[in-house]
Amino acid sequence: MRENRLFAAVDVAQVHGVFHVRQAVVVVGPLRVVDPHRGVADDLDAVVGYAEAVRAAVVARAELACFHVAERSISRARRRHSKDHPHRQYGNNTVHFRILPSRSIIAPGSWIVMSGRLKYTMGMKANSPAGKRYCADLLAKLVDIPSVFPNEEEATLFLERELATLGLRPERIHLDESRFNLLCRIGSGSPRVCLNAHIDTVPPKGESVPTARVDGDVIYGLGACDDKASVAAIISAGLEIASRADEFDGGVDVMVSVDEEDGGCGVETAIKQGYKCDYAIVGEPSDLDVVPAHNGLLWLFLTARGVAAHGSAPWAGVNAIERMMGVVEELRNTISVFPPHELTGPMSLNLGMLSGGDLPNRVPASCEAVVDIRLAPPTTLEQVREAVRPVLESRDWLECKSGKGRNGLNTPLDSRLVKTVLECAGELGIDSKIVGGRGWTEAESFRTMLGIEAIVCGPGSMKQAHTSNESVKVSEVHKAAELYVRCVERLLAQTARS
């Protein structure tokens, strides 16, 4: 019987481990299967599925595969594709034998043994013990890889290899030669739900460095909260969704973007190159609250010129810093006339950078400043630019260059997506609320450019983002992955019924 064949093959072969990655079977170490259906780990919920392929692999090449030739293909065996053949194989009747690096993260459809423990990840559920371990391990690995904008390449190359190993077939969407988003398309047809998060981070600060440190339920490190926790969560969700793709009427896209912390052009570039979806859930730190609205932004780079003079007679010159302060105050008054949003609050202006003067006893002849204006929807970027133009153009001693500019997000509170995420969160015991965001996210790009329903919902708190000791709770990352899966189930089921 199938059970006996599996039990005998694995028990007799005494190999270090058996890995089945799509059409590849990898053997390494001692493995004892106590029960053909459960194995030695409490989360092994099926064994028989690949019984014959495992037996053929172990019997054919166990001796050679046992301790030799890391990271290269060892041999290939062909078996007859017959329903009753004891060595029946799947996938073009071919089995590939190879050893993988011990630190590799193995795919769904894999048999994994580490230090005598067997993990089963075929159809791995996001809320299973194996799924949770994978998610936490992936997050730690991502934090260990520096990805400060615009230098995300090492992280995206790692993820590209990882996603390919997982069988998710990542595609590149290039911003330039070395910078690219990664897109994994799961399932076919429409509607399509996009799960998005960004891999780039701000520069290190204090203890927030690209080195993961785990303390109980908390992972510390640069990008742990913003936004690698969400990257780990959407990938973990994607693994379960991929194993169940035939259950859904529609598809799911897992998109990992770059450049969010700088120009905000990652998702925008994908859409300009033809990407489309019907719903977008953007993972950003929100404490798993639902954010259907957030502010936009406009950065202005200002240069004011003055006239230098001796500091003892300031009236003999013109102080460029004082001129700049007057401009900033007038800009603040100008934007105050726009109405606040019920969730995101009022418009605001932050004088984020100021530089001028070279000596305390000299009237400064120049001053540079960068101001950050936050737009409360539905006020648009164009409306704000028009309002501040007279302030900026009425002074011949003032120069202005526009920097990053984005509209706000304003998805209707009664939209299907908002209702669905709230319902799913409640079913999972997550106390999610509708809140507004002061910061900008790429959810706006989906909403503005595609006209679709888009929201922000992710693990971690904005109070931790960009701090000197950034952290996130692992348990919240696990909840996020489970929530994303539930939302996909509900959205595609709802659409199929409607």
- The CATH number for 312's domain is 3.30.70.360
pLDDT tens series, the chain, 498 aa: 222 222 222 222 223 333 333 333 333 333 333 233 333 322 222 232 333 334 333 333 332 222 222 222 222 222 222 333 333 232 222 222 233 333 333 333 333 332 222 233 335 789 988 889 889 999 999 999 999 999 999 999 999 988 887 778 899 999 998 999 999 999 988 999 999 999 999 999 999 999 999 999 999 999 999 999 999 999 999 999 988 888 888 999 999 999 999 999 999 999 999 999 999 999 999 999 999 999 999 999 999 999 999 999 999 999 999 999 999 999 999 999 999 999 999 999 999 999 999 999 999 999 999 999 999 999 999 999 999 999 999 999 999 999 999 999 999 999 999 999 999 999 999 999 999 999 999 999 999 999 999 999 999 999 999 999 999 999 999 999 999 999 999 999 855 455
> Do 98 and 76 fall within a single domain?
yes
- β pairing state of 279-282 and 192-198: parallel
H or E element, residue 86: none
| pLDDT for res 495 | 53
Tell me whether the omega of the peptide bond preceding residue 170 falls within 30 degrees of 0, making it cis.
no
Structure tokens at 234: 């959407």
Tell me whether the omega of the peptide bond preceding residue 11 falls within 30 degrees of 0, making it cis.
no
> Do 98 and 186 fall within a single domain?
no
Is residue 379, in this structure, part of any structural domain at all?
A: yes
E strand segments, 344-465: 348-356, 366-375, 398-406, 409-410, 434-437, 453-456
Domain residues for 36? 2-120
| pLDDT for res 81 | 29
> Do 330 and 268 fall within a single domain?
no
> Do 312 and 452 fall within a single domain?
no
Which residue in this structure is represented by tokens 């790429």? 442
What is the value of pTM for the model shown? 0.76
Q: What share of the chain is helix, strand, coil (3-state, %, to 5)?
A: 35, 25, 40
> Do 356 and 421 fall within a single domain?
no
Is residue 402, in this structure, part of any structural domain at all?
A: no
Alpha-carbon gap, residue 212 to 146, rounded angstroms: 11
| pLDDT for res 123 | 52
Is residue 426, in this structure, part of any structural domain at all?
A: yes
| pLDDT for res 175 | 96
> Do 108 and 157 fall within a single domain?
no
| pLDDT for res 164 | 81
> Do 81 and 152 fall within a single domain?
no
The torsion defined by the Cα of 38, 44, 46 and 50, in degrees rounded to 10, comes to -100
| pLDDT for res 125 | 86
> Do 353 and 433 fall within a single domain?
no
Q: How many domains does the chain fold into?
A: 3
Alpha-carbon gap, residue 383 to 361, rounded angstroms: 42
- β pairing state of 471-473 and 218-220: antiparallel
Q: Say if CB 254 and CB 238 are below 8 A apart.
A: yes
